Amino acid sequence: MPQNQNQNQSSNSQTLVINAEEFTFETVEQQNGIATVVKFKLDNPGVRAGDVLLILSGAEIQFHGFIGGIEGGYAIAADRAGSMLLAGVH
């Protein structure tokens, strides 16, 4: 496999899907009581900045945003347009 093709494959983002009932997070930014930026413990070492965080409650999307940074075992993700997560520490 050519080297540049391998690099393209490794730069593809993946989606981390978590059930809303199991998602523990701290609100970093909020708007009108809705968490728009969250910080959460990251247990999956394969997840990296640029990947997508998707929080589902049944079939309903509660949060859908990019993971912007990872540090010290915690990740920060933002969904400033469609988040339905209540702000706070959950």
pTM > 0.75: yes or no: yes
More confident residue, 82 or 7: 82
CA dihedral 84, 13, 21, 74 (to 10 degrees): -100
Query: What pLDDT, in 10s, does the model give residues 8-18?
Result: 344 688 999 99
Q: What is the pLDDT of residue 30?
A: 96
How many angstroms separate the CA atoms of 90 and 79, rounded?
17
Query: What pLDDT, in 10s, does the model give residues 25-72?
Result: 999 999 999 999 999 999 998 999 999 999 999 999 999 999 999 999
Q: Given a cut of 90, is residue 88 above it in pLDDT? A: no
| Side chain identity at residue 72, one-letter code | G
Most distant pair of Cα atoms in the chain: their distance: 50
